[in-house]
A and B are shown apart, each in its own frame.
Chain A
Amino acid sequence: MTKFNKPGPMSTSRRNVLRGSLLASAALATGAAAMTTPRLPSRSIADAASAKIYKAADPQTADSTAKPADLSGYTRVKQELVAPPFAPVHEQVATGGPKIIEVFMETTEKLMVVDEDTGAEIWALTYNGSVPGPLIICHQGDMVELTLRNPVDSQMEHNIDFHASTGALGGGGLTHVYPGEEVVLRWKATKAGCFTYHCAPGGAMIPYHVCHGMNGAVMVLPRDGLKDRDGNALTYDKIAYMGEQDYYLPQDENGEFKTYAVAGDDYADSLVAMATLTPTHQVFNGAVGAITGENAMKFTVGETVLMVHNSCNVDSRPHLIGGHGDYVWETSFDVDPLTSVETWFVRGGTAMAAMYTFEQPGVYAYVNHNLIIAALKGATAHFVVEGTWDNALMEQVVAPREFET
């Protein structure tokens, strides 16, 4: 699915370059001169946007008036994050008291193939090297303590905005890390539901990072697990974690997708492409076919899947072809789930969950049922389900045959 082709650390005055790209154009000259690879000359749009960027915190000159958090009663646990479409090991119903869940993410910039057929590729900006970033799972009342590390060989600064969190732009204002820096952020999961998270360095850099793959989801489960409208427990056997990613890849005058030497070099071209609001690709898990064919997810009849769908930027309306959404939580887990849903809705800028128990074997297609996006832009995943066919649910009574004319 992905191709890793990362150059080593660029020999440059890193901090100056980054400040140059983020602050006014006057500072840019110094930064550009320090780069070992040529940058694109036309950066006026980028500079104008960057001038309005959020600043990282100034040096503190006075003690904060905020009280220290009371962490008594919390148990520290580590959650090993895994690459999508899989989910980390977790409890559906919380046992014991509230937890501080420690997670680690690295802001990895990597060259990824978006569509093998055309060779279209992108310098993806990622959390832990995957698009979407890994799924984090906790329970309502838990705290998530993230260590966010920006590798030394990165080109860009990164941060993270958790929609599940409260304050400081979702943590975005407290987590700006430059290459070679790390930051630790702790936030309390007060709302139950699925929430997106994404990089938000400021200004036009926000959609640039988001549309280069830098987004993912947190699922905050109710402490006593998921319930139907009558309060009966709903459990799942597996999670299918899918991130719908819109890409806007710059093309040359011949319609060929352009290539770039390092992350960030496509910035000016990307702004132009993004401003069309027409994605060149809209895919699940980073690339066309990332969850089809040899990468299709496997289930058996009788298994229940919780489909967690993250879409940080664009609206989507997923449909499971050949199946349904038995229970669908489009917003939070506080509300009763929708039931027996044909096609559900993912508000751009959210993550949500839908639950289904497989009743027939075969192949299911999980698509954005804007079928143009599904078939031409790539938003299709496949589930292969083993089991015994149920003729009571469906049967081919007569195979195709000629009829009398």
Chain B
Amino acid sequence: MNAPTPTPLFSKASVRMAATGLAVVGLVGAALVLRGPGTATPDLIQAQVVTLQDGRALRVQIREVTITEWQACHDAGACELDFSRKMKEPEYPATGLSYPDAMQFVAWINTTHDTGWRLPSAAEWVELSAEVMPQKPDPIFTDPSLTWASSYLTEASRTGRALRPSGAFSTTSNGITDLDGNVWEWTQDCYAGSDGQAPIDPDRCPAFIMGGEHEAVMSYLVRDPARGGCAVGAPPAHLGMRLVADVG
């Protein structure tokens, strides 16, 4: 038997963190180059500084990027998607975002802010969300031959799939909201294949790890992970993003 054992994706992701660390630096560097004079309001991104277990301080956006925040990027000509018809009260998270969409926003925000915003790594996301995440259900198949089907979810989602306003889900002790909601957030970590070995250039990455209620890997071009077809399991309901920045 050569089939891999059914290891949860996120534990692999944390192993791969070291491998993708260099790429992370590269991303932030690129963002720094793009930084320029600000046009948006300085407090567009509301964030909270969180100290991670390894001692690093991370500035974390309290909400997922909202429709209004996204639209500021669109109005500046830097983000392709136009959500002007989705503007409403109360504020909702911006959804329907692919990885390239998310990177448009990251690039734009760093032209207007000095903070050095980026997407979180998968490990950072897992640590930030740990206290509000539900218990992971047991895999429905444990036979190694059925690893391909073992993450299929036969339990009802707690959150449902209907979008809710920003802040409607849990808030962590650090004041970060909606990590356990039904919007999955792009991380900067490329899913490096089932062996987890090959470091992949983020610019050539076919699929990224998503932060969300259950583990998910999403092809970089997907905006709406429609349910159905050959895909097995319950895909994320919605795709959005949240910014983080290294402090100091």
Whether A116 touches B229, Cβ cut-off 8 Å, given contacts A361-B141, A400-B195, A402-B195, is no
Say yes or no: A396 contacts B2, CB within 8 Å.
yes
Contacts of B161 in A (CB 8 A): 116-117
B85 touches A117 (CB 8 A): no
| A254/B85 in contact, CB under 8 A | yes
Complex: how many Å from CA A398 to CA B85? 50
Give every chain B residue within 8 A of A402 (Cβ-Cβ): 195, 197-198
CB-based contact A380/B2 at 8 Å: no
Q: Which residues on A sit within 8 Å (CB–CB) of B195?
A: 399-402
Contact with B along A92-121 (1 / 0, CB 8 A): 000000000000000000000000110100
* CB neighbors of A among B179-198 (8 A): 193-195, 197-198
In the complex, A296 has a CB within 8 A of chain B:
yes
B-facing residues in A364-379 (Cβ within 8 Å): 365, 367, 371, 374-376, 378-379
Pairwise interchain contact B228-A361, C-beta atoms closer than 8 A: no
Say yes or no: is B33 at the interface (Cβ < 8 Å to chain A).
no
Q: A384 at interface (Cβ–Cβ under 8 A)?
A: yes
Also in contact, A398 and B2, with CB within 8 A (given A255-B85, A294-B154): yes
Q: Is the CB of B228 within 8 A of A379?
A: yes
**Bound CA span A396–B85, Å:** 48
B146 at the interface (CB under 8 A from A): yes
Q: Say whether B18 faces chain A, with CB atoms less than 8 Å apart.
A: no
Q: Does B49 contact A (CB under 8 A)?
A: no
CB nearest neighbor in A for B3: A396
A378 touches B141 (CB 8 A): no
Q: Please determine whether A288 and B232 come into contact, CB atoms closer than 8 angstroms.
A: no
A255, B85: Cα distance in complex, Å = 9
| Chain A hits for B238, CB < 8 A | 117
Task: State whether B149 touches A374 (Cβ < 8 A).
Answer: no
Task: List A319-365 residues whose CB lies under 8 Å from chain B.
Answer: 321, 361-363, 365
B154→A384 contact, CB < 8 A: yes
Q: Report the Cα distance A389→B86, complex, angstroms.
A: 48
Smallest Cβ-Cβ distance to A117: which chain B residue: B161
- Given the known A-B contacts A292-B228, A294-B154, A380-B229, are A400 and B193 also in contact in the complex, defined by CB atoms under 8 Å? yes
Q: Give per-residue flags for B123-165: 1 if the beta carbon is below 8 A from chain A beta carbons, else 0.
A: 0000000000000000011010110110011111100111100
Contact A294 B226 (CB under 8 A): no
Set B145, B224, B234: member contacting A391, Cβ < 8 A: B145
Residue in A closest to B144 when the chains form the complex, CB atoms: A389
B4 located at the interface, meaning its Cβ lies under 8 Å from any Cβ of chain A in the complex: yes
Do the beta carbons of A117 and B2 come within 8 Å of each other?
no
Q: Which of B4, B224, B227, B233 has the most chain A CB atoms closer than 10 A to its own CB? A: B227
Is the C-beta of A209 less than 8 angstroms from some C-beta in chain B?
no
Also in contact, A365 and B160, with CB within 8 A (given A294-B155, A384-B140, A402-B195): no
Per-residue contact bits, chain A 302-324, to B (CB 8 Å; 1 contact, 0 not): 00000000000000000001000
B237 adjacent to chain A (CB < 8 Å): yes
Question: Which B residues are CB-close (under 8 A) to A395?
Answer: 1, 145
B25 sits at the interface (CB 8 A): no
B148 touches A362 (CB 8 A): yes
Interface string of B217-248 (1 = CB under 8 A from A): 00000001011111111100110000000000
Q: Is the CB of B229 within 8 A of A389?
A: no
Contact B228 A374 (CB under 8 A): yes
Q: Does A363 contact B228, Cβ atoms closer than 8 Å? A: no
Is A176 part of the contact surface with B, judged by Cβ < 8 Å?
no
Chain A residue nearest in CB terms to B156: A294
A180 lies within 8 A of chain B by Cβ: no
Residue of A nearest to B146 (CB): A362
A399 touches B227 (CB 8 A): no
**Interface pair A363/B152, CB less than 8 Å apart:** yes
Interface centre among B85, B145, B162, by most chain A C-beta atoms within 10 angstroms, is B145
A119 near B162 with CB under 8 A, answer yes
Instruction: Look across to chain B and name the residue whose beta carbon is closest to the beta carbon of A380.
Output: B228
Name the B residues within 8 Å of A254 (CB-CB): 85-86
A384's partner among B152, B157, B231 (CB-CB below 8 A) is B152
Q: How far apart are B79's CB and chain A's nearest CB, in angstroms?
A: 18
**A116 proximity list for chain B (CB < 8 A):** 160-162, 237
Interchain nearest-CB distance for A249 vs B (Å) = 16
Residues of B within 8 A of A293 (CB): 153-154, 156-157, 233-234
A92 CB to nearest chain B CB (Å): 29
A388 to chain B: which residues have CB within 8 Å? 143
- Would A361 and B162 count as touching, CB distance under 8 A? no
User: Is A57 an interface residue, CB under 8 A from the partner?
Assistant: no
A-B residue pairs in contact (CB < 8 Å), sample of 21: A116-B160, A117-B161, A117-B162, A117-B227, A119-B162, A254-B86, A292-B227, A293-B154, A294-B156, A296-B154, A361-B141, A363-B149, A363-B233, A365-B228, A374-B228, A375-B229, A378-B228, A380-B227, A389-B143, A399-B3, A399-B194
Q: A256-B85, A380-B227, A396-B3 are in contact. List 4 more A-B contacts (CB 8 A).
A: A116-B160, A293-B153, A294-B154, A362-B149
Which residues of B approach A to under 8 Å, CB–CB? 1-4, 85-86, 140-141, 143, 145-146, 148-149, 152-157, 160-163, 193-195, 197-198, 224, 226-234, 237-238
Ranked 4 nearest A-B pairs via Cβ: A380-B228, A375-B229, A116-B161, A389-B145
